[in-house]
Chains A and B, each alone.
Chain A
Amino acid sequence: MMSEGSSFMKGMVLGGIFCLVMSFFENFNSGTHSEVHEHLHHHLKPLSKDELEKLSESQMSDLPLQVRVYCLIMVTPKLLVHWATANDTWSKHCDKSVFYTSESSKALEAVDLQEQDEWARLRKAIKHAYENAGDLRWFFVARPTTFAIIENLKYLVLDKDPSQPFYIGHTEKSGELDYVEYDSGIVLSYEAMRRLIEMFKDEDRCPERGHALWKTSEEKQLATCLKYSGVFAENGEDAQGKGLFNKKSVSSLISDSMGQNPADVVEACCSDMAITFAGMSPSQMQVLMYGVYRLRPYGHDFHDSLTFLPPKDSDND
């Protein structure tokens, strides 16, 4: 009896290990033939100062009107204070902001997706946004715990054609998969959205409810679906190669810089054109709003080549 039981157990363990190993290999294989593609567009930077200066006056005044952003803000009632803060701060700078929630809240307006599963919710939100985009061609997905400077996002994609597939943010690698981190915000062009929504129909390669024994995060599932449609993650950086999308708070980054670069804390820390920060408390986000859109030294001119106007009906910017 004992020897039969232990053979069975050995068989189960071996079989389990075999399954795990095979599913890891699956990830490895899909990467190799598209290696060339992956490295071509890995780092994405804004237009340089020189290139901007070469634009004609009519191009200069047209560009800010052409780059328009639809913000998808993925909320839950648990994040109510951050939700209210995002609503009161940075989301006002999107051309269109829509809050998508897992369940409705009496306090704040949102599209109620009535969905607890995060990946299923994200899929529904993406479909809704694409259908309601109007003439908006850039999409920004974030949680309300992220703070975004939309003008800097527009500056980054100013010269990129949204009828091409773009998937931008802070990129990380998981095995052979390059993905954009959710916490620091995800940028998608209209074409990337279109391809993604097509891929949603493929239940094998892009399932709505995962088949795996363990759950992969939405950010990786998103990256996988996009990859199958030929859309690859790109890291958003400034001209000096500094990341524009941050999953840490400003004080966390400054604190790190004080340890690593004590002689040059601010210079070494973060980009002047940073797009996102995450992990900040609601009151830190209010201070960031003031710090970004209002606090400045009299007489300081950044010599920016374009103009973005402040939003209507807002008193904290």
Chain B
Amino acid sequence: MTQPQHLKSRTQHIRATWGRRCNIVLYMSSEASDFPTVGLNVSEGRNQLYWKTIRAFQHIHMHHLDDADWFLKADDDTFVVLENLRYGLSKHNTEEPLYFGRRFKPFVAQGYMSGGAGYVLSKEALRRFVKGFADGLCSHDTNIEDIGLGKCMETMKVQLGDSRDVLGRQTFHPYPPHYYLTRQLPRPRPWYLLYEHYHPVEGPGCCSDLAISFHYIDAVQMHTLEYYTYHLHPYGYKYRFNPDERSDNRNNN
């Protein structure tokens, strides 16, 4: 999700890094352009974000429903590792009403997925979201995109999936890596962990090796994460975490 003023400062860096790993990437904006961006019938601004998201999913439902199996919404300051997303989704069925992301507790009875960390809808979830609005079961009753979508998902009986890895570590992250990785003495939850549905872990256990997203990532950090993920590596290092050897070790929190 982007806007005309961000194409140069943000979106071009997504296009240069992880955007090209999507099977299809659509840059949703209020204006069509040669970037290329899709022009949705909305104006810009945080209070228009939920409208924009609704229009974006309606556009995808109309033009691309059969072009993909899963549908990821991310912001223009989110970094995504597509391979890890595909791996995480591989054991799920896209014909079931499911959505994945960073699960938050409040405001919606069953909870909802953080918008900034990015969330993925199954094909059935996308159908139900669009149908919800078409049938008047869902409406634009809030400006807050992730809460609004979460409420509609609940209404349309779409389930929230668990995106944690087999060791119970998070894969979607609403903040940059340094928020989570720094070791802390046991302490009450800091403000950025207050909404967490699953018990948050601070320090190295916060984050999966096979992380899917980080948010509030500026242009320099975008390329830095690209470098860390796909290029810089310790020669010959045998990684400790090998999920395929441990698929029945799920840590239930």
CA A283 to CA B175, docked complex, whole Å: 14
B205-245 vs A, CB cutoff 8 Å, 1 = contact: the mask equals 10101110000000111011111111111111111110100
**Stretch from B35-43, B61-69, B80-88, B139-147 forming part of the interface with A:** B80-88
Name the interface residues of A56-98: CB closer than 8 Å to any CB of B.
64, 88, 93
CA A299 to CA B221, docked complex, whole Å: 23
- Chain B residues with Cβ below 8 Å from A291 are 177, 224-225, 227-229, 232
**What's the tally of chain B residues with a CB closer than 8 Å to chain A?**
43
A297/B83 in contact, CB under 8 A = yes
A258-275 vs B, CB cutoff 8 Å, 1 = contact: the mask equals 100001011001101110
Contact of A306 among B16, B219, B228, B236 (CB under 8 A): B236
- Chain A residues with Cβ below 8 Å from B210 are 296-298
Q: Tell me, rounded to whole Å, the shortest Cβ–Cβ distance linking A81 to chain B.
A: 11
Residue A132 is within 8 A (CB to CB) of chain B in the complex: no
B225/A152 in contact, CB under 8 A = no
B83/A298 in contact, CB under 8 A = yes
Contact of A295 among B82, B209, B238, B243 (CB under 8 A): B209
Contact of A258 among B182, B203, B205, B223 (CB under 8 A): B223
Known: A287-B177, A296-B209. A266 touches B235 (CB 8 A): no
B221/A296 in contact, CB under 8 A = no
Contact of B236 among A292, A297, A307 (CB under 8 A): A307
Name the interface residues of B75-121: CB closer than 8 Å to any CB of A.
81-84, 86-87
B220/A258 in contact, CB under 8 A = yes
- Chain B residues with Cβ below 8 Å from A298 are 83-84, 86-87, 210, 243
Residue B22 is within 8 A (CB to CB) of chain A in the complex: no
Name the interface residues of B14-65: CB closer than 8 Å to any CB of A.
16-17
Residue A155 is within 8 A (CB to CB) of chain B in the complex: yes
CA A156 to CA B146, docked complex, whole Å: 49
**Stretch from A195-203, A226-234, A248-256 forming part of the interface with B:** A248-256
CA A146 to CA B81, docked complex, whole Å: 28
B236/A304 in contact, CB under 8 A = yes
A93, A154, A269, A289 — which one has the most chain B CB atoms within 10 A of its CB? A269
CA A291 to CA B230, docked complex, whole Å: 10
A295/B229 in contact, CB under 8 A = yes
- Chain A residues with Cβ below 8 Å from B86 are 298
- Chain B residues with Cβ below 8 Å from A188 are none
Contact of A155 among B231, B232, B236, B238 (CB under 8 A): B236
**What's the tally of chain A residues with a CB closer than 8 Å to chain B?**
52
B204/A316 in contact, CB under 8 A = yes
Known: A286-B178, A287-B181. A304 touches B235 (CB 8 A): yes
CA A83 to CA B65, docked complex, whole Å: 54
Residue A24 is within 8 A (CB to CB) of chain B in the complex: no
- Chain B residues with Cβ below 8 Å from A284 are 178
CA A305 to CA B237, docked complex, whole Å: 10
- Chain B residues with Cβ below 8 Å from A64 are 236
Residue A300 is within 8 A (CB to CB) of chain B in the complex: yes
Q: Tell me, rounded to whole Å, the shortest Cβ–Cβ distance linking B180 to chain A.
A: 9
- Chain A residues with Cβ below 8 Å from B232 are 149, 270, 272, 274, 291-292
Residue A25 is within 8 A (CB to CB) of chain B in the complex: no
B228/A300 in contact, CB under 8 A = no
B223/A292 in contact, CB under 8 A = no
- Chain B residues with Cβ below 8 Å from A290 are 177, 181, 204, 207
CA A305 to CA B235, docked complex, whole Å: 9
Contact of A149 among B87, B203, B234, B240 (CB under 8 A): B234
B204, B229, B234, B241 — which one has the most chain A CB atoms within 10 A of its CB? B234
Residue B183 is within 8 A (CB to CB) of chain A in the complex: yes
Residue A294 is within 8 A (CB to CB) of chain B in the complex: yes
Contact sample, A vs B, 6 pairs, CB 8 Å cutoff: A88-B183, A254-B227, A286-B178, A291-B229, A292-B232, A310-B238
Kindly list 8 other residue pairs between chains A and B, CB separation below 8 angstroms, not including A296-B239, A310-B240, A315-B205: A258-B219, A272-B231, A290-B177, A291-B229, A292-B233, A293-B234, A297-B82, A305-B236
